[in-house]
Amino acid sequence: MTLLAGAGELSGSGSPAWAGDPDPAGLSGKRPSFAVVIADQKLLDRYREIRRQTFCNEQAMFATDDADQMDQHPDTVSLVAVDPTGEVLGGVRVAREPSDATGAWWRGSRLALDPKHRGKSGVAASLVRAACSYVVKQGALRLDATVQLRAYRFFCQLGWEKVGEQEISGVPHLCMRWPIDRFERLVSQTKGHLGDLVGKLVPGGAQYVGDDAAPVPESDLLAATDAILASMVAKDPIWAGWCSVLVNMNDLAAMGASPLALLDSLGAPDTGMAAAVLDGMGAAARAWGVPIIGGHTQIGVPPSLSVTALGRAGEPITSGGGRPGHAVRLTADLWGCWRAGYGCSQWDSTSGRSPADLAQLMKSVATTRPAAAKDVGMAGIVGTLAALAEASGCGAELDLAKITPPDGARLADWLTCFPGFAMLSTDSTEKDTPPPLPPGAVSERCGRLVEGRGVRLLWPDGTTTTAVLGAATGLGPAQRSVPGGAGDRQSPPL
């Protein structure tokens, strides 16, 4: 049997850590209570017996068998609580919603406990928590369940929210939803501290709040700067060097600028690491056709790397130019693969591209000149959209059915990873157009800006769920006039 990891009190390493046990290490000599596992066929047969006893014999919701199409679905997984002797105490099942093309919508159902174990502390709660943990690890962005009225308080205590009502076999049920906070946590980690740290500086000026590049006063130059994680420099120095150029090129591209030059600041414990970083940086500079004109290098210090880029744009495109009603467009390079060693957090779409392809991608925003644009960084697609909407003084809605992840990437991972090259832009539906792109890149209209704050996800069934509740950065809206007649507004100053 497969022991589930990360489900409430459960553990997946070494010997099973049994839920409901005040002495999981076994120091007292007492026998542990139970563990939640993925059911094999023997455990599944017993779980289905418990289901029939509960839903057919006791509750009479079904005549002789509660089995349905979900039991036959290839994605369906049954989780059961077992005691140390292997006896099944209860179970629950989860599966992807068959009608959903995104692969990110899951359902939980058939929570049932053996009658003689219903008073056992923590069994039902551990099963529900295990189900939540399992589907999140499978890339779920939505988890729904229909529960009987008597279970409402129990599910609320576990953090579930009521979203509707439904009748099943003549019995009233409540529609409940588990609030998955994957996007909120990522935004908090990558963007949430910015307002408190740099808000008073108004970097770039009030018009450029929220942008990743800023105008150099009394010129048509833009400057961008990015630092690479020290752990990444130490672990993967060539890739760190490449990415130090990549992220700066994306910052300039999002504002419609053409690159002019790079400067770097590099620290390394030895010359070998420093040389590897510079090899990656040099390869990227050649690929984008931008010179490294200077910098600083220091040996015998902890790993560190930051790069500054200069570019030119007569009329920079900012992230604060959107307004409610604008269409949201995602332009992304799906070519490439996951970068080895980073799980599903970094998509490498650029290291194998030709200079001509990179140049065409670099011009995608400058060619179409949308009202607002922002490159997708470590906050992912959803987090970056939240930042763009905040700078524009509004909220956003993202249509999941209109987003195409690369082959081999789950939608949830694609929406939260660093995607290599990806740009979000907004404009009126009349002006919104896709740019010319190299093969393997796509540009899709996938949402809209709306009144309010944060980002909501639109599902194929018409349901919306909250991805980011409020402001992403705390920097507030950019001070920018938005043309358009009676609907014009001037964003308030910080």
Domain covering 213-317 assigned CATH 3.10.180.10 in the classification: no
Domain ranges of the chain: 2-180, 183-211+318-494, 213-317
- CATH of region 2-180, choose from 3.40.630.30, 3.40.50.1000, 3.20.20.70, 3.10.110.10: 3.40.630.30
CA-only gyration radius of the chain, Å: 26
Tokens 């790079």 identify what position?
262
Tens of pLDDT, residue by residue, the chain (494 residues): 455 533 333 322 223 334 444 433 334 455 558 999 999 999 999 999 999 999 999 999 999 999 999 999 999 999 999 999 999 999 999 999 999 999 999 999 999 999 988 877 799 999 999 999 999 999 999 999 999 999 999 999 999 999 999 998 888 999 999 999 999 999 999 998 888 888 777 666 678 888 989 999 989 999 999 999 999 999 999 999 999 999 999 999 999 999 999 999 999 999 999 999 999 999 999 999 999 999 999 999 999 999 999 999 989 999 999 999 999 999 999 999 999 999 999 999 999 999 999 999 999 999 999 999 999 999 999 999 999 999 999 999 999 999 999 999 999 999 999 999 999 999 999 999 999 999 999 999 999 999 999 999 999 999 999 999 999 999 899 986 444 433 333 333 32
pLDDT given for residue 13 in this prediction:
27
Q: What is the dihedral of CA 11, 16, 17, 22, to 10 degrees?
A: 170
With contact defined as beta carbons under 8 Å apart, do 274 and 299 qualify? yes
pLDDT given for residue 120 in this prediction:
74
With contact defined as beta carbons under 8 Å apart, do 68 and 107 qualify? no
Q: What is the dihedral of CA 283, 289, 293, 297, to 10 degrees?
A: -20
pLDDT given for residue 175 in this prediction:
97
pLDDT given for residue 301 in this prediction:
98
pLDDT given for residue 352 in this prediction:
95
Task: Please report, for residues 122, 435, 465, the alpha-carbon distance to residue 134 in angstroms, rounded to integers and kept in the order given.
Answer: 18, 39, 20
Helix (H) or strand (E) holding 134: helix 123-137
**For the residues of 79-130, what is the DSSP string, one character each?**
EEEE-TT--EEEEEEEEE-TT-SSS-EEEEEEEEE-GGGTTSTTHHHHHHHH
pLDDT given for residue 206 in this prediction:
75
pLDDT given for residue 18 in this prediction:
41
- CATH architecture of the domain formed by 183-211+318-494: Alpha-Beta Complex (3.90)
The span from the CA of 69 to the CA of 263, in Å, is 60
Dihedral class, residue 433 (left if φ above 0, else alpha if ψ from -120 to 50, else beta): beta
Per DSSP, what are the bridge partners of residue 468? 455
With contact defined as beta carbons under 8 Å apart, do 362 and 421 qualify? no
Structure tokens at 76: 């369906």
pLDDT given for residue 204 in this prediction:
64
Measured between alpha carbons, how far apart are the two ends of the chain, in Å?
Answer: 57
With contact defined as beta carbons under 8 Å apart, do 298 and 304 qualify? no
